[in-house]
Amino acid sequence: MTNLTLYRPEDYKKVLEAALLAAPEPLSLAELKKLFDEEFDDETWRTLLDDLKRDWAGRGVELVQLASGWRFQTRPEYQVFLDRLKNEKPPRYSRAVMETLAIIAYRQPVTRGDIEEIRGVAVSPNVLKTLEGRGWIDTVGHRDSPGRPALYATTRKFLDDLGLRSLAELPPLAEIERIIDAQARPTQEAHPAPPLQADESAAIAQPPAQSDAFASADASG
């Protein structure tokens, strides 16, 4: 096996490029630091990653920073072409799932009772199981009230799948529905989700509370 000697920034960028292209999941800065014996300050890391990002500018794949780290991903405008290679069209999430996810994203942390109060209907356990199974929500604690109901919040995977670094980057509700609908790969609830009406959107899209577990998601890891 040939041992590479790294001298120039270009050499380090090639190693970063190879690691990020091979990784199945985003790589945090802490993980990327394991690639080299040398220790760099944060500014050097930022320069290397920003330079690598510029190297890929204008291509069909881009380097992005997400909640859990850095990854290469297809540019959104080309996804429609890649979808033609799929043998089956993936099912879409139901309206109940989409509304519940939107409420959790914008009002977290919330209990099942909070969601039911906002939606005005009971929340099926299968709806929450669907979102948990997709890795988009998780239990982050329990409210100090009778019965100690579970508190739900979104995860870093949710932010990763939306291409976001933190909850502060959450787009308007109509946009989040479009992104989720485009990227969703569910295993159940195979019914189309019609768009929310204006009054429903206004009830959901309040600024999210700062959940200790997820509000400060940082890709520097």
pLDDT digits (tens, 9 = 90+) for 164-174: 888 888 877 77
CA 188 to chain centre: 20
Mean pLDDT of the chain: 80
Q: What is the pLDDT of residue 132?
A: 94
Asked if pLDDT for residue 186 goes beyond 60, the answer is: no
Confidence of residue 64 (pLDDT cuts 50, 70, 90): very high
Q: What is the pLDDT of residue 150?
A: 94
Residue 111 backbone phi and psi in degrees, to 5: -95, 170
Residue 211: inside a domain, yes or no?
A: no
24 and 107 both lie in a single domain: no
53 and 113 both lie in a single domain: no
Number of domains in the chain: 2
**pTM for this structure?**
0.63
Q: What is the pLDDT of residue 92?
A: 73
16-37 per-position pLDDT tens digit:
999 999 999 999 999 999 999 8
101 and 70 both lie in a single domain: no
Provide the residue range defining the domain that includes 115.
95-204
Q: What's the average model confidence in pLDDT over 144-162?
A: 92
Q: What is the pLDDT of residue 91?
A: 57
Asked if pLDDT for residue 67 goes beyond 80, the answer is: yes
Least reliable range by pLDDT among 57-61, 110-114, 175-179: 175-179
Give first-to-last CA distance, the chain, whole Å: 31
Assign residue 56 the CATH number of its domain. Answer: 1.10.10.10
Tell me the range of 52-66, 92-106, 202-216 where mean pLDDT is highest.
Answer: 52-66
* Inter-CA distances, 130 with 98, 116, 144, 188, Å: 11, 17, 26, 7
177 and 110 both lie in a single domain: yes
Residue 153: inside a domain, yes or no?
A: yes
Helical axes 95-107 vs 125-133, angle rounded to 10°: 70
145 and 184 both lie in a single domain: yes
State percent of the chain over pLDDT 70: 75
102-114 per-position pLDDT tens digit:
899 999 999 999 9
Asked if pLDDT for residue 138 goes beyond 70, the answer is: yes
SS3 19: helix
Return the CA Rg of the chain. 20
Q: What's the average model confidence in pLDDT over 121-136?
A: 92
Confidence of residue 155 (pLDDT cuts 50, 70, 90): very high
CA distance 128 to 123: 8
Confidence of residue 213 (pLDDT cuts 50, 70, 90): very low
187 and 115 both lie in a single domain: yes
Q: What's the average model confidence in pLDDT over 54-67?
A: 93
